[in-house]
Amino acid sequence: MLLSDKSLDLPLQLKWRFAHEPELLGWTIRARNYNTSVANCMFLFMSIVIFGWTYFLYDPPGSGDNVFLTYLSSIGFYILCSLVIASMTHQRINCAYRFSESGVECCEWKDFPEWTLTFLKWLAGIAAIICIFLATIDP
């Protein structure tokens, strides 16, 4: 089973317009809610820009001590930036549809990753410690 084929977890409370009516048929899907051609063109353009940045970060052989480390850092930079750009241009949205006696209803939501709050707390704590150290160096 692929990661994208897993069943979607519904939010605890979906806001249906006809919530008082019983559900006759319902289903959920994960889909892109935008023009994929535009997203692919944006990703291609940004990949070219990132490739240019990577080229300028590359230190030509002979001027640096370790060529392998330079290649590795350039490739790592390109991969990291490409993953960030791909996560921005190719987002998905979750949709739930249902039939009731009054017609078809749609409810859309995006899953909020739980790790982001933990990451932001740690980032704020580390940044505060760094700022305190920098303030003590040169008040």
State pLDDT tens for residues 25-78.
Answer: 776 666 666 677 888 888 899 999 998 888 877 766 555 667 777 788 888 888
In a domain, residue 121? The reply is: no
In a domain, residue 56? The reply is: yes
Segment 132-137 long-range contacts (CB within 8 Å, at least 24 positions apart): none
Q: How far apart, in whole angstroms, are the C-alpha atoms of residue 87 and residue 110?
A: 13
Q: Over the Cα atoms of the chain, what is R_g?
A: 23
Q: In the chain, how many domains are there? A: 1
Q: How far apart, in whole angstroms, are the C-alpha atoms of residue 66 and residue 20?
A: 69
- In this predicted structure, the answer to whether residue 2 has a pLDDT above a threshold of 50 is no
In a domain, residue 33? The reply is: yes
- In this predicted structure, the answer to whether residue 129 has a pLDDT above a threshold of 90 is yes
Highest mean pLDDT among 64-78, 80-94, 115-129: 115-129
Mean pLDDT over residues 2-10, rounded? Answer: 51
E strand residue ranges, 1-139: 25-31, 93-100, 103-109
Mention every residue, 6+ apart, whose C-beta is less than 8 A from residue 77: 53, 54, 57
Mean pLDDT over residues 81-106, rounded? Answer: 80
In a domain, residue 90? The reply is: yes
Q: Which residue has the higher pLDDT, 5 or 135?
A: 135
Residue keyed to tokens 């209803």:
105
Range of the domain at 54: 21-109
In a domain, residue 130? The reply is: no
CA atoms within 13 A on the CB side of 107: 16
Q: How far apart, in whole angstroms, are the C-alpha atoms of residue 99 and residue 21?
A: 10
Residue 108 to residues 11, 97, 98, 114, 123: CA-CA distances in angstroms? 10, 9, 12, 19, 30
